[in-house]
Amino acid sequence: MNSSRFPSARSFHHNPDAAPDSPEALAPYVDNGEEIFTTDRYTSAEYAELEWDRMWTRTWTLAGLVADIPKVGDYFKYDLGRESFIVVRTGEQPDAIKAFYNVCQHRGNQLVRNDFGSVRTFRCFFHSWEWEIDGKLKLIPEAESYPPNLIADEPPLSAVRCELWDGFVFLNMDTDAEPLLDFLAPLPEHLAPYRFAEMKVVKDLQTPWPCNWKIAHDAFIEVQHVHAVHPEILGFINEYNVQWDLYRNGMSRMLLKFGEVSPKLADRTTVNDGLEGLMSEVDLDPGAYPDTAAGVRKAIQQAKRSWATSRNIDYDMFTDNQLTDDWNYSLFPNITFNAHPEGLLIQRFRPHPRDPQSMVYDLLVLIHPIEDPDYNVPGYMGVEPGTDLSGKTRPKRRIIEYGEDGLGFVINQDAIMMGYMQRGVQSRGYKGARYSHQEQQLRHWHKELERYLSGEK
């Protein structure tokens, strides 16, 4: 690893005064080389098979939320590629949660079929073998009809490793993997002020996309495409002067300044509609708007701090930059977080069980519950008008067909790209990806994937 830093044009440090161990510190430069990456990773069944055997079965992935299984016996189902898992609450203690492969030990039927449910026991739909929620065998009907040796071990449900972080449940099929918090470090420390466990789900969408899961994931760990795909947001996002930080285990982040005009726009002085929109969301009096765009980000930071103080909401843990900016994290292998003081957008990219050119995209929005009817949840959270923000009702998961509206304006713009990208990368005329420094998170991520596939990890 090279410990020098990028020349300033290749990365930006939003707070040069940050202490080296602070969450705002610029991470040491990681030299990931300059190779052009092969395209079979997006198209080939053999590559997908290797990816499954060497990466998916050996890494931590986000299965779901602790809050979705509040009572003993509550479970959720988590499907990942060809596997399916059950995550169940087994006791009252906050961490009394176990995970099992979703499979009956008799002849292999799947035990649960719904995404969410509540049970006293898991009873198979086929011949009624039954297990306690902690996985112990409860009953084999007509046990006398089995050779005693075949059932002498009283087969329990097949357990899978399950660990928790701030309200999230992660699973890992590898019994030898490092503990979850070590795997994620230093992300949990950076993200502690957001208090994810206290947030509530306000949006839960799922949609199939006609592309390899990595095509979609790649598109969400860079913002170099914003000027072309999302030009409407350039007025209030600086998507060029980005702080990129690369961490171990393929993790990375970009710190994206909101409330600042993109350098790609000619007019960076006028307080444009986008900036006015952000200021109105924090109830900044139009009379107090700064004269030029340069003052807007600071004005929003101050308004948010005084808004929080007036409502006894603790924003002391947040830096000023965290109050305005998108702290945008890539959790290897298939999760992105857009963290804001108001809430969190989670994107999850899952492979299709068989087809390397299909995937499942999940979008979950969590917010800190609030009962104030005058509260404007910022537009970047993607919350529909009229959504209950009290946290008292958990919206149902909504399945959206490809091409159907519903993902929100910006993500719809991304979704349209997916089919074209998949068709393009499989062309004989395409020679592989050439990443810029603005795409350094992709290079870092793909290098990590290759470490799994080559057996180095």
Residues that bind Fe ion (CB under 5 A): 414
Report the C-alpha gap between 417 and 217 in whole angstroms: 12
Q: Which of 42, 47, 60, 129 binds ligand FES (CB under 6 A)?
A: 129
Tokens of 215: 């095509």
Tokens of 79: 């499907």
Per-residue burial over 188-210, b = 16 or more CB atoms within 10 Å of its CB, e = otherwise: eebbebbebeebbbbbbbbbebb
Q: Which does 414 bind (CB under 5 to 8 A by kind): ligand FES, Fe ion, none?
A: Fe ion
Stretch that binds ligand FES, among 52-60, 127-135, 265-273, 292-300 (CB under 6 A): 127-135
107 binds ligand FES (CB under 6 A): yes
Q: Is the dihedral of CA 212, 379, 338, 390 positive or negative?
A: negative
Stretch that binds ligand FES, among 15-23, 91-99, 103-111, 402-410 (CB under 6 A): 103-111
131 binds ligand FES (CB under 6 A): no
Could you tell me the CA-to-CA distances from 10 to 2, 167, 240 in Å, in that order?
15, 35, 10
106 binds ligand FES (CB under 6 A): yes
- Restricting to residues 26-85, name those near ligand FES by CB under 6 A: none
Name the residue nearer to ligand FES (CB basis): 106 or 227.
Answer: 106
**CA angle 217–221–227, rounded 5-degree value:** 110
Closest approach of ligand FES to the CB of residue 75, in Å: 17
Report the C-alpha gap between 369 and 199 in whole angstroms: 7
Q: Which does 124 bind (CB under 5 to 8 A by kind): Fe ion, ligand FES, none?
A: ligand FES
State the number of CA atoms in the 13 A half-sphere of 309 facing the CB: 7
Q: Largest Cα–Cα distance in the chain?
A: 84
Name the residue nearer to ligand FES (CB basis): 154 or 314.
Answer: 154
161 binds ligand FES (CB under 6 A): no
Stretch that binds ligand FES, among 25-33, 124-132, 283-291, 419-427 (CB under 6 A): 124-132
Q: Which does 129 bind (CB under 5 to 8 A by kind): ligand FES, Fe ion, none?
A: ligand FES
124 binds ligand FES (CB under 6 A): yes
Contact status, residue 97 vs residue 88, Cβ threshold 8 Å: yes
146 binds ligand FES (CB under 6 A): no
CA-nearest of 307, 284, 306, 305 to 295 is 284
